[in-house]
Each structure stands twice: as structure tokens, then as C-alpha cells.
């Protein structure tokens, strides 16, 4: 059996789309009645006033909907803080086969701000899936020599299977 709050919600749904449709229909009905009863000489003035009133009503409705949506988002719980480094390896031994660890270690040692091991592994897997040097530089923020090393090693890699 339906509880009282559920029954009220079914009888009076409050959706943004329903509110907008009812507002538009009400404004149109008032406009038609006003135009029908207005003297012929005053109809352009009445029409202009009705257009202004309709624009004002729509603007007020949109503002109310935006405020309601903002209030709903404000009540959401905050996201948990992201971990500095995810625990454990991201990829399996198969996906990291032929990974050029020694070559990369020599290149990474020369950098002031080296990329993380997880970032290098993700770039390696992307390189083995056909991504080029420019793509790796752009998406992972890798220096050119590291991206070129990864792509060259990926191209030398013998596909499994």
C-alpha cells in the first residue's frame, strides 16, 4: 500500500519540465484572454506588454530552477580526497612485458621533476596500443626523450599471441 508521502508525490509531481510547461500554458492562456478582450486599437500595446510579461515570467522560472539545482548540489557530500599515489602496480606482468625500465631510469635521473612510475607505466601501455610520441607528451606531460623511448620500445616489442 502507498504511504502518504508517496501518494502526495504521485498526485503533485514537481519536476522542472512540468513546471515549465504549466508556466508556458498559463502565460499563453492569459495572453489569449487579454488579446480577446482588448479593444482593437490597444491590441499592439497589450501584445507588447504580454510579451514582456512572458519574458519576465520565463526568466524568473529559469532563475528559480537554477537556484534549486544549485541548492541540491550544495547538499551533496564532498568527494573523498584523492590519494597521492595509488597503492600497488596498475598493470599486469603481461602488459608490462618488454618495458624499458633501464633506459627510462637513466632518462628519469636527469630530470628535475620526474614522472611517477605509474605515469610511465600508463604511458607504456598507451604506446603499446599505438599512441605516438606527440600523444604521450600531450596526455601524460612526458618530456620528448622519455616519450620517444617508450614509443621506440613499443614498436620493437614482439606482440604476444
Read off the pLDDT of residues 91-104 as tens digits, 9 standing for 90 and up.
777 888 888 989 99
pLDDT level of residue 31 (50, 70, 90 thresholds): confident
Give the predicted TM-score (pTM) of the model: 0.45
Instruction: Tell me: pLDDT of 10 over 60.
Output: no
d(CA 145, CA 148): 5
Task: Please determine, for residue 87, whether its predicted confidence score (pLDDT) is greater than 60.
Answer: no
Residue 99 has a CB neighbour count (10 Å cut-off) of 21
Which DSSP letter does residue 81 get?
A: P
Residues in CB range of 133: below 8 A, 6 or more apart = 144, 147, 148, 151
Average pLDDT of span 81-89: 61
Other C-beta atoms closer than 10 Å to the C-beta of 151 total: 22
Return the domain boundaries, the chain: 15-75, 93-157
> Could you give the CA distance from residue 144 to residue 151 in angstroms, rounded to a whole number?
11
Amino acid at each position: 500500500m502507498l504511504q502518504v508521502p508517496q501518494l502526495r508525490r504521485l498526485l503533485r509531481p514537481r519536476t522542472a519540465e512540468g513546471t515549465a510547461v504549466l508556466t508556458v500554458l498559463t502565460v499563453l492562456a492569459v495572453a489569449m484572454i487579454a488579446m480577446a478582450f482588448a479593444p482593437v486599437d490597444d491590441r499592439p500595446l497589450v501584445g507588447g506588454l504580454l510579451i514582456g510579461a512572458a519574458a519576465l515570467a520565463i526568466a524568473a522560472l529559469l532563475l528559480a530552477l537554477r537556484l534549486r539545482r544549485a541548492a541540491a548540489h550544495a547538499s551533496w557530500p564532498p568527494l573523498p580526497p584523492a590519494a597521492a599515489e595509488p597503492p600497488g602496480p596498475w598493470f599486469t606482468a603481461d602488459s608490462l612485458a618488454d618495458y624499458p625500465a633501464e633506459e627510462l631510469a637513466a632518462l628519469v635521473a636527469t630530470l628535475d621533476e620526474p614522472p611517477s612510475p605509474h605515469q610511465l607505466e600508463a604511458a607504456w601501455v598507451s604506446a603499446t596500443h599505438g599512441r605516438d610520441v606527440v600523444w604521450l607528451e600531450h596526455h601524460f606531460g612526458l618530456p620528448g626523450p622519455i616519450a620517444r623511448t617508450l614509443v621506440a620500445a613499443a614498436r620493437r616489442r614482439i606482440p604476444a599471441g
